Amino acid sequence: MTEMKPVTEATAVKAPVLPDAQTVTEVKHWTDSLFSFKVSRPASLRFRSGEFVMIGLLGDNGKPLLRAYSIASPSWDEELEFYSIKVQDGPLTSKLQHIKAGDQIILRPKPVGTLVHDALLPGKRLWFFATGTGFAPFASLLREPQTYEDYDEIIITHTCREVDELEYGRHLIEDIRQDEMLAELMGEGFADKIRYYPTTTREKSPKMGRITELLKDGTVFADLGIDGGIKPDTDRAMVCGSLAFNLDIKEILEGFDLREGANSEPKEFVIEKAFVG
Ligand SMILES: Cc1cc2nc3c(=O)[nH]c(=O)nc-3n(C[C@H](O)[C@H](O)[C@H](O)COP(=O)(O)OP(=O)(O)OC[C@H]3O[C@@H](n4cnc5c(N)ncnc54)[C@H](O)[C@@H]3O)c2cc1C
Ligand SMILES: NC(=O)c1ccc[n+]([C@@H]2O[C@H](COP(=O)([O-])OP(=O)(O)OC[C@H]3O[C@@H](n4cnc5c(N)ncnc54)[C@H](OP(=O)(O)O)[C@@H]3O)[C@@H](O)[C@H]2O)c1
């Protein structure tokens, strides 16, 4: 039998107290370079679907090591979900990729961002253009009732290098289509408004190529049966990918006479970087 010893100040192990700590409740690894996780939600945190916050861990120097992360869960959810890259020599994600349920992370409860409904003028068809982890803000907006109240059609394009990298998005949309609670919240048949358009660039899949090229040569419109391309009076767009991707899509959207909006000045499209560098 193990001998019980009284806990003295010398023997007591104090749990480290992180500033703005939240508890990890679930972790799912999708590929060698992608994972998603859920954490508890601070009672005071209010955010608009599509916004991002700063999250992180304590660095080796004892100071918070924080990075911007889109909240992938919708504004009404009890928990917060994130979808993350694993950069093997990345200061944060080289460590963050090892978190487990029960661990703590730091979450600064100050949501911000431009990929929000408020930054767009009213329209009929909403395009979400994502590459890689740029899918994250749209994982939130695809579960947001306002998306279906405000639009007749939601087209989500997701371009990744390889087929496996599409899996988080594919799985999420499949879940949305089958979720009875969401159907009750948003109205039966709401998910029929979603048109999912995944493409890969380096591994063979049913639809290959950069979405930018598929927009320029009209393939997307032919595939989706859209006459006349993107129109400024009906179409709205949100864009989230690398800087190069964002700039290329911006040029295409401006070619269709859409204008970039912001929280303070809603227009026809909005853009946010999925990462810096
Ligand atoms: C507004 C905003 C929202 C963001 N939301 C997310 C999110 O939801 N999920 C997420 O994984 N990351 C997101 N990021 C990126 C994130 O802030 C970090 O860069 C990422 O977690 C890597 O951190 P790190 O310290 O390990 O490496 P860093 O030093 O931050 O990055 C090292 C290098 O890795 C590459 N890289 C970084 N992040 C990514 C990425 N997401 N996809 C592809 N390459 C990348 C870049 O080349 C970068 O220079 C977001 C960034 C911004 C600006
Ligand atoms: N994911 C990986 O397997 C991998 C492997 C090694 C290194 N990395 C590094 O990790 C970082 C992120 O990789 P990632 O694959 O997540 O993101 P990424 O390099 O931004 O690519 C994501 C997807 O977006 C496409 N894309 C990139 N720029 C585009 C543009 N201007 N217009 C249209 N489409 C564009 C890519 O197509 P293309 O394939 O045509 O570029 C790819 O399908 C990069 O710095 C990369 O060098 C990633």
What is the C-alpha end-to-end distance of the chain, expressed in Å?
57
Backbone phi, then psi, for 271, in 5-degree steps? -135, 145
What separation in Å is there between the alpha carbon of 133 and the centre of ligand 2?
Answer: 10
What separation in Å is there between the alpha carbon of 255 and the centre of ligand 2?
Answer: 24
Tokens of 28: 């799912």
**What pLDDT is attached to residue 185?**
85
- Beta strand pairing call for 64-70 and 235-241: unpaired
Would the CB of 246 count as within 6 Å of ligand 1?
Answer: no
Is the dihedral angle over the CA atoms 198, 204, 205, 209 positive or is it negative?
Answer: positive
Would the CB of 69 count as within 6 Å of ligand 1?
Answer: yes
Answer whether 0.85 is exceeded by the pTM. yes
Is the dihedral angle over the CA atoms 178, 184, 189, 194 positive or is it negative?
Answer: negative
Q: Which atom of ligand 1 is nearest to the CA of 277?
A: 49
CB 136 within 8 A of CB 68: no
CB 53 within 8 A of CB 128: no
**What pLDDT is attached to residue 186?**
85
- 3-class secondary-structure state, position 191: helix
Would the CB of 136 count as within 6 Å of ligand 1?
Answer: yes
**What pLDDT is attached to residue 1?**
38
Would the CB of 137 count as within 6 Å of ligand 2?
Answer: no
Residue nearest to atom 31 of ligand 2 (CA): 245
Residue nearest to atom 26 of ligand 2 (CA): 245
Q: Which residues of the chain have pLDDT under 70?
A: 1-17
Q: What is the dihedral of CA 82, 169, 51, 259, to 10 degrees?
A: 160
Distances, alpha carbon 20 to alpha carbons 11, 36, 44, 48, 104, in Å: 27, 20, 12, 20, 10
**What pLDDT is attached to residue 21?**
96
Would the CB of 85 count as within 6 Å of ligand 1?
Answer: yes
- The 10s digit of each residue's pLDDT in 143-186 is 999 999 999 999 999 999 999 999 999 999 999 999 998 899 88
What separation in Å is there between the alpha carbon of 81 and the centre of ligand 1?
Answer: 16
Cα 134 from Cα 223, distance rounded (Å): 23
- What DSSP letter does each residue of 81-122 carry, written as one string? EEEEE--TT-TTHHHHTT--TT-EEEEEEEEE-S-SGGGB--
Residue nearest to atom 50 of ligand 1 (CA): 275
